[in-house]
Structure 1
Amino acid sequence: MTKPPRKVVVTQKFFDDEAVAFLRGNDIEVEIATLPDGKTEAQLDIDDMKKLLDGAGGWIVGHANITRDALGALPDLAIVSRRGVGYEKVDTEAARELGRVVTIAAGGNDASVADQVIGMMISAGRRFREAQNAMNGGKWNILVGTDLYRKKVGILGFGRIGRSLARRLQGFEAEIMVCTPRLRDEDINAYGLSSVDFDTLLAESDYISLHAPLTPETRHIVDADAFGKMKPNAVLINTARGGLVDDRALLEALENGRILGAGLDVYESESDPSMKSVTDALIARDDVIAAPHAGASTHEGLARTNMIASVCAVEVIEGRMPPRECIVVDGR
């Protein structure tokens, strides 16, 4: 690939002035894209991308589906810079073969998502939504909830967000169990963890928080069988990826009182519109604390991820290496 154009297109909302100034200060033309009427970033097709990214060497992006065909239609594009940490919507094999770079904003949203998980654990365990809805209806009866203090918390996956969550759980004197293929000795020592298999995590946890990537192996890892192994007072938190949980099975488990509650920031309907009725039923429930895939969306978290994504774009356009922890694919 020839030297990339010094233009970066941003298709994400909430891109702050400091990140724009950083890009411009590095002699980068910045274009904050206006998406086609009625379309979200995830709904952009190849023709949309060609129009939005004409002459761009960098793309700061969130949830667009970036296929081999899309990359082939964007020959000037040197870097796909994700303002986030997931990259399952990018064809990374194609990116490598076509000589492109794919990066993530590693370390930018760990604290924000971990804070959200703690909030969801407490809110679901203490039945805050159910209590407030009852009060709005004139019923001020006390609903007895459950503590997070000194409870058993199971974490599935233990990357940056999982470690950030573990640090917070230490303040609650929680017993932290982790199920992950590779648990480092330094993490066990730092956070007082125990390494467990998935069945043990399901059976013993009072709270379960999911922090695994979505892969063919992890899709529906929490299914009807898994709910059958959980405690009846368990709370499930999913702020990772829709599809890790079988949402139909979750709805059934809640309807049957099989678990106490759930905190959800991601849903199967995000990638499968046929699941919308299931999502609607889940978020309508008193025992579900719901958010619209907003775990990273604090002022501070967005500022961090905007800047990291911008740094990655500048480094690649300049022909240098972006931060190592941010590199998913470097096909140069």
Structure 2
Amino acid sequence: MSERLPRKVLVTQRFFDAESLAYLHANGCEVELAQLADGQADGDFSEDQLQALLADADAWIVGHAWITASLLGRLPRLQAIARRGVGYERVDVAAVRASGKVATIAVGGNDASVADHAVAMMLALGRRLGDSKARMLNGDWTIALGGDLYGKTVGVIGLGRIGRGVVKRMAGFDARVLACSPKPDWSYGREAGVQFVDLDTLLAESDYVTLHAPLNDDTRLLIDASALNRMKPTAVLINTARGGLVDDRALLEALLDGAIAGAGLDVFLSETDASYRATTDALLVLPNVVATPHSGASTHEGLQRTNLIAAQCVVAVLNGETPPAPCVIADGRPISGAL
């Protein structure tokens, strides 16, 4: 009997840890780590480049590349696409099913990391940490008065795993928590001390508005000029979810006009629409904006968790098994109970 060839797994993400690599090796996988230039992400690769990288791959651990019908049609050997993350708006799930492949996300891996990041942005803006450091670097040690997170009203839009993580953290600040969700979980609300309200009420009453909704047709540009004008002039907006939830041009105008007090941004519309790049640059220089480069999930611990979940999903598919149900976003195999 001929020896079984290793299953090849291509990883197009940085920071793939030794434990997850060892797991793949232990399960008969040969792993190739794509070489990324400084500042480059897999979303920057053309379809031709991706085809060349994936031509002999059985599975792909991916970050932000677009998974299209055209690309999948050029990769007959590929069986599994595992996102090291939880958003999948760049994955054509119908095309995955039609191609007979499986696509997964790393559910539960980065929830805590992103929730921490959102709270860190609230604290940084409330206590004016970035502004204070900039003043000190210019020789101005005048105290810039900030505000407490303690006792404030925090509005959470989207109560998935990350949103609930933020709610849990707010208990330590004795915060009043409002939430807006398309399907309110009233029993959870009672247990967690969350008051479900409509979007208008949340915007009008919150001192901090933090976004944790998925990006879809219902939520795209949810926070537009009208929404921003319904917020308190002392309020702060936090977006660690998806850039498409906020109209960044309207946000810039609101910040310049004093319609709101500040913004914490880990995601930007310019990530998917280059025409917003000048808007992003203008936001970054404002003293009342705290910004990070879509790094809310990128802690050592968070990436180790998501790496391993993605690796486990890949091995399950290559073994002809089904990954954990919450991780599966598309399963096109003929006898799999496909979604």
Give TM class, smaller chain. over 0.9
Alignment of 1:54-93 (within 5 A): 54-93=55-94
> Structure 2 counterpart of 1:68, which letter?
A
Where does structure 2 lack aligned partners over 5 or more consecutive residues? 334-339
- The answer to whether the Cα contact below 8 Å between 1:4 and 1:77 also exists between their aligned partners in 2 is no
Do structure 1's residue 178 and structure 2's residue 165 form an aligned pair? no
Where does structure 1 lack aligned partners over 5 or more consecutive residues? none
Aligned equivalent of 2:192 = 191
Aligned equivalent of 1:6 = 7
Q: Higher mean Cα deviation, 38-47 or 209-218?
A: 38-47
1:142-163 CA distance string (max 9 Å, x none):
2111111111100111101001
Q: In the TM superposition, what is the alpha-carbon distance from 1:38 to its structure 2 partner?
A: 8.1
Do structure 1's residue 209 and structure 2's residue 201 form an aligned pair? no
Alignment of 1:128-143 (within 5 A): 128-143=129-144
CA distance in 1 between counterparts of 2:29 and 2:285 reads 45
Aligned equivalent of 2:110 = 109
CA distance in 1 between counterparts of 2:43 and 2:281 reads 20
Residue 281 and residue 312 in structure 1: after superposition, are their counterparts in 2 closer, same or farther (change >3 A)?
same
1:25-57 CA distance string (max 9 Å, x none):
001111111247985311212211111112211
- The answer to whether the Cα contact below 8 Å between 1:210 and 1:239 also exists between their aligned partners in 2 is yes
Q: In the TM superposition, what is the alpha-carbon distance from 1:185 to its structure 2 partner?
A: 3.0
- The answer to whether the Cα contact below 8 Å between 1:239 and 1:295 also exists between their aligned partners in 2 is yes
Aligned equivalent of 2:330 = 329
- The answer to whether the Cα contact below 8 Å between 1:4 and 1:317 also exists between their aligned partners in 2 is no
- The answer to whether the Cα contact below 8 Å between 1:10 and 1:30 also exists between their aligned partners in 2 is yes
Residue 5 and residue 103 in structure 1: after superposition, are their counterparts in 2 closer, same or farther (change >3 A)?
farther
> Structure 2 counterpart of 1:108, which letter?
G
Q: Higher mean Cα deviation, 93-102 or 107-116?
A: 93-102
> Structure 2 counterpart of 1:240, which letter?
A
- The answer to whether the Cα contact below 8 Å between 2:81 and 2:102 also exists between their aligned partners in 1 is yes
When the two structures are superposed, what TM-score results if normalisation uses the length of structure 1?
0.96
- The answer to whether the Cα contact below 8 Å between 1:71 and 1:95 also exists between their aligned partners in 2 is yes
Aligned equivalent of 1:297 = 298
CA distance in 2 between counterparts of 1:156 and 1:122 reads 18
> Structure 2 counterpart of 1:239, which letter?
T
Alignment of 1:203-282 (within 5 A): 203-282=204-283
> Structure 2 counterpart of 1:98, which letter?
S
- The answer to whether the Cα contact below 8 Å between 2:179 and 2:202 also exists between their aligned partners in 1 is yes
CA distance in 2 between counterparts of 1:280 and 1:113 reads 23
Q: In the TM superposition, what is the alpha-carbon distance from 1:129 to its structure 2 partner?
A: 1.1
When the two structures are superposed, what TM-score results if normalisation uses the length of structure 2?
0.94
Count of residues in Structure 1 that have an aligned counterpart in Structure 2: 330
1:203-236 CA distance string (max 9 Å, x none):
0000000011111221111011011100011010
> Structure 1 counterpart of 2:105, which letter?
I
Q: In the TM superposition, what is the alpha-carbon distance from 1:170 to its structure 2 partner?
A: 0.8
Q: In the TM superposition, what is the alpha-carbon distance from 1:71 to its structure 2 partner?
A: 0.6
1:215 alignment partner, SS class: coil
Q: CA RMSD in A?
A: 1.6
1:171 alignment partner, SS class: helix
**Identity over the aligned pairs, expressed in percent?**
55
Q: Higher mean Cα deviation, 268-277 or 185-194?
A: 185-194
1:96-122 CA distance string (max 9 Å, x none):
111111110000000000111111001
